C-alpha cells in the first residue's frame, strides 16, 4: 500500500465520520434521534467555565478602557503586542496639561501670583501623570495579563477538549442508532436466519463498545480540565487584590499631591473665592485611607488654613497678625516687600488698600504683600 492510497482511505474515513456526526446532530435537533446527556456534575463544570470566560472577557476589556480611555491608543498597543514589539512611549493627558501650565506660568512670569500658581499646578499634574503611568503598568502586569492568559490559553484548551467531547458523544449516539437499527432489522428478518444481519449486529456492538470507551475517556479528560476553574478563580482573586492595591496607591499619591498643592496655593484664597462667587470651602476629608499613612496625616497637623473669614476680619480690624509665607515673591517695585517661602512676617490692613494686598513687616522692612502668598497663623 503506497502513501497515496493510505491518504485517500484516511480522507474517505474522515469524511464518513464527519457525515455521520452531521446526520446524528441534525436528527437530534429534529427530535428523530436520542441524545446521550452528560452527567450533572460535568454540566455544572461546563456552565461554570463558560460563565468564567464571559465575565473575565468583560472585566478585562472594561479595565483596559478604564486604564486607557483612548480607543486609538488601545488599538495601537494591541497591534504592537501582536507584533511582539514595544509600543512607543507617549505623553499622557495629566502630563500634557502639566506641561501647558508650566509653559503658561513661565510666559506670564514666575514672579506673578498667577504664573507661580500655574507652575505649581503644572508640576503637580505631571506628578499625577507619572503616577497614572505606574498604575497602568502595574495593572497590566499583575491583573490584565493573567486574565488574558486564561482567555487565550487555558480556556482555549478547555474549548478544544469540549468540542472533542461533543464529537465523541455524536459518535457514540450514532453507533447506538446503528445498533438499534441493526437489531430491528434482525428481528424483522429472523425467520430468514440471515447470517449477514447477524454479522452487522456484532459489528455494531463492537463499534458501540469502542465509541463508549472513547467518550468516557474524553469526558474524564474534560472533567479534569474543568475542575481547574476553581484554581483559576483563586488565582484571579490574588490578581484582583494586586489591582486594588495598585489603585489604592495611585489614589493615595494623587490625594497627597493635591493636598500639598492646596497648601502651596494657600487653600482657596479669599480673592479667588470672591471672584467665583463662592461662599464655602470644600472640607478636607477627616478620615484618610490607610494607604496615605500616618506621615501624610502628620504633614497636615498644625496647619492653619487661611479662610475667607480670617482675611475679612483682618481687613476690618486695625490690629496686626502673624502670617507664614507660602512661596517666594519678588517685589515688583519699592512699595512692595520681597518674600521668602516659609518665613513668618507681620501683616496688617491699611485703609484704602486694594483688597488683594496687605501691608507686611519684617524687622525694619515694610511694604505691600499679596494675600495669595500668605497663610495666617493663630
Q: CA torsion 332→337→342→347, rounded to 10°?
A: -130
Q: Which residue from 73, 124, 74 is spatially nearest to 97, judged by alpha carbons?
A: 124
Answer yes or no: is pLDDT of 88 > 60.
Answer: yes
Q: Which residue from 164, 162, 171 is spatially nearest to 13, judged by alpha carbons?
A: 171
Answer yes or no: is pLDDT of 161 > 80.
Answer: yes
Task: For residue 208, name the pLDDT band (cuts at 50, 70, 90).
Answer: confident
Does the reported pTM lie above 0.75? Answer: no
Name 235's Cβ contacts closer than 8 Å, sequence gap at least 6: 146
What values do phi and psi take at 237, rounded to 5? -65, -45
Q: Considering only 236-245, 291-300, 313-322, which range has the smallest mean pLDDT?
A: 291-300
What values do phi and psi take at 361, rounded to 5? -140, 130
Answer yes or no: is pLDDT of 345 > 70.
Answer: yes
Name 286's Cβ contacts closer than 8 Å, sequence gap at least 6: none
**Maximum average pLDDT range among 116-125, 318-327, 345-354:** 116-125
In this predicted structure, what is the pLDDT of residue 112? 85
> Would you say 324 and 377 are in contact if contact means Cβ atoms under 8 Å apart?
yes
> Would you say 163 and 221 are in contact if contact means Cβ atoms under 8 Å apart?
no
Answer yes or no: is pLDDT of 269 > 50.
Answer: no
250-266: average pLDDT: 91
Q: Which residue from 371, 376, 319, 377 is spatially nearest to 348, judged by alpha carbons?
A: 319
Give ∠ CA 131-71-258 in degrees, rounded to 5: 25
Q: Which residue from 87, 56, 57 is spatially nearest to 72, judged by alpha carbons?
A: 87
E strands in 214-373? 320-325, 344-348, 357-362, 365-370
In this predicted structure, what is the pLDDT of residue 32? 73
The conformation of residue 355, written as its DSSP 8-state character, comes to T
321-326: average pLDDT: 90
Amino acid at each position: 500500500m503506497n502513501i497515496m492510497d493510505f491518504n485517500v482511505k484516511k480522507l474517505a474515513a474522515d469524511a464518513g465520520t464527519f457525515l455521520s456526526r452531521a446526520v446524528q446532530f441534525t436528527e437530534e435537533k429534529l427530535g428523530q434521534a436520542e441524545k446521550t446527556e452528560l452527567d450533572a456534575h460535568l454540566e455544572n463544570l461546563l456552565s461554570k467555565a463558560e460563565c468564567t470566560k464571559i465575565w473575565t472577557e468583560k472585566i478585562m476589556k472594561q479595565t483596559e478602557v478604564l486604564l486607557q480611555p483612548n480607543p486609538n491608543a488601545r488599538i495601537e498597543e494591541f497591534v504592537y503586542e501582536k507584533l511582539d514589539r514595544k509600543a512607543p512611549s507617549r505623553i499622557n493627558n495629566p502630563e500634557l496639561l502639566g506641561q501647558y501650565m508650566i509653559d503658561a506660568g513661565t510666559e506670564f512670569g514666575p514672579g506673578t501670583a498667577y504664573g507661580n500658581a500655574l507652575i505649581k499646578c503644572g508640576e503637580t499634574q505631571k506628578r499625577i501623570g507619572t503616577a497614572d503611568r505606574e498604575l497602568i503598568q502595574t495593572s497590566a502586569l499583575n491583573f490584565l495579563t493573567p486574565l488574558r492568559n486564561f482567555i487565550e490559553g487555558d480556556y482555549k484548551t478547555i474549548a478544544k477538549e469540549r468540542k472533542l467531547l461533543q464529537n465523541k458523544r455524536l459518535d457514540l449516539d450514532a453507533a447506538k442508532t446503528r445498533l438499534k437499527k441493526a437489531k430491528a432489522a434482525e428481528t424483522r428478518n429472523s425467520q430468514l436466519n440471515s447470517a449477514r444481519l447477524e454479522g452487522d449486529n456484532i459489528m455494531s456492538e463492537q463499534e458501540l463498545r469502542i465509541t463508549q470507551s472513547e467518550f468516557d475517556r474524553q469526558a474524564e479528560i474534560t472533567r479534569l480540565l474543568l475542575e481547574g476553574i476553581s484554581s483559576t478563580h483563586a488565582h484571579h482573586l490574588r490578581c484582583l487584590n494586586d489591582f486594588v492595591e495598585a489603585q489604592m496607591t495611585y489614589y493615595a499619591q494623587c490625594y497627597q499631591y493635591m493636598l500639598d498643592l492646596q497648601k502651596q496655593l494657600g487653600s482657596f484664597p479669599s480673592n479667588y473665592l470672591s471672584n467665583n462667587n463662592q461662599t464655602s470651602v470644600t472640607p478636607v476629608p477627616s478620615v484618610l485611607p490607610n494607604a496615605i499613612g500616618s506621615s501624610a496625616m502628620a504633614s497636615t497637623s498644625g496647619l492653619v488654613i487661611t479662610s475667607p473669614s480670617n482675611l475679612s476680619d483682618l481687613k476690618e480690624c486695625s490690629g496686626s497678625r502673624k502670617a507664614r509665607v507660602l512661596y517666594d515673591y519678588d517685589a515688583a517695585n519699592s512699595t512692595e516687600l520681597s518674600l521668602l517661602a516659609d518665613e513668618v512676617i507681620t501683616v496688617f490692613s491699611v485703609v484704602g488698600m486694594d483688597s488683594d494686598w496687605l501691608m507686611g513687616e519684617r524687622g525694619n522692612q515694610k511694604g505691600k504683600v499679596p494675600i495669595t502668598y500668605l497663610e495666617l497663623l493663630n
